[in-house]
Structure 1
Amino acid sequence: MDFSRDYYEILGLDSNATSEDIKRAYRELVKKYHPDVNRSAMSEELFKLISEAYDVLSDDARRRQYDLYRKFENEELEEEKRRASDNTSASAHLSDECARGQPAARAYGMDRVQLLVLSLVVPGYYQISSGEKKLGYVLFAIYFTFWALAFIKSLPIGILAIAIWLYSLYDAYAHSRG
């Protein structure tokens, strides 16, 4: 049983077709596409598909299993569509907030304290979240490099790491107030 195929569509039926409908559709299609009757190149493949669809749909247990799988698959597709539309509306709202010049904290639904705490932990976080990605990543990379050199080599360059960290924090604080 191949769940990726729509056996009802192959037989030209709805999912609420009766056993008699399935038999009737199968017989009509077999008469039309049997390789002994129809000599086209595709008739053999079509006949195999028709036979497979009939085998699944004519057996009550296999049909129930197939229908159950299709039901869950359709529910998952609907859930994905719903999530996609929710994400689209959320990103549209975020774009509107940013377009109106709202600070990143408000646009991302963060309060000022959360933004400052994240900026304390990750230098350059505010710049990254407010759209200044290059500056934010550069600040973080330089901070990390200076910190690593100060830690590994015991160089006084660690003071520069602290300066970058303070700049990043000050920038986040200044923008979160306005």
Structure 2
Amino acid sequence: MPPKKRTGKAKKAKKSKPDQGNELAEMYRRSVLDVAVLKDHLALRTDAARQAMSVRDDLKCQIRDLKQVLSQEKLDTKDITADLNRQYKSLQMDLEAKVKQLESSVSMLQKQLDQCQGDLKTEREWRARMEEEKDAQIADLQSKLDSMETEYEKILHGCLDSLLSHLAVARRQWEDESSDVHQEFKDMLTGLGLNPLYI
């Protein structure tokens, strides 16, 4: 019986050989197709990988350039910030110096103003005193002038009264003397035989 079994297996093996060849050919054909498909996929992936690597390299270059630009901009910003800080400090120092100078000028001008106001007050007081003194002198001189006018009027009236009395005395004397002279001439004319009324 064992030989029969072997024979049966051999028969089966012999019978399966054509099927196996077809299966192998089919598998081979499928494998070739799979390999072709895989090669296509591999080619596509390789191309995609190359493109990705190219894009990656481009992006790396762009990133490097952007980093350089950013670094340069940071340096420029740092320089600009430093320059602005320096200008700010310089302007602040200038402003502080101007403020101190203006405060000094204000202080000096305030002192001058106080001094001028003091001088003006002194000058006004002096002028007021001078005006008072002048008014007092004018009033004193006016009163002296008034008293002198009164005295001059008295003296003038006294002199005029004395002159009038002297003139009255002199007139009386002249009248007396002229009467005497007329009488003498009348007597002389009468003595000569002339009528003095016709002459």
So what's the TM-score if we normalise by structure 1? 0.24
Structure with larger RCO (C-alpha < 8 A, sep 6+):
1
So what's the TM-score if we normalise by structure 2? 0.22
Question: Radius of gyration: which is bigger?
Answer: 2
Comparing both structures, which one devotes a greater share of its residues to helix? 2
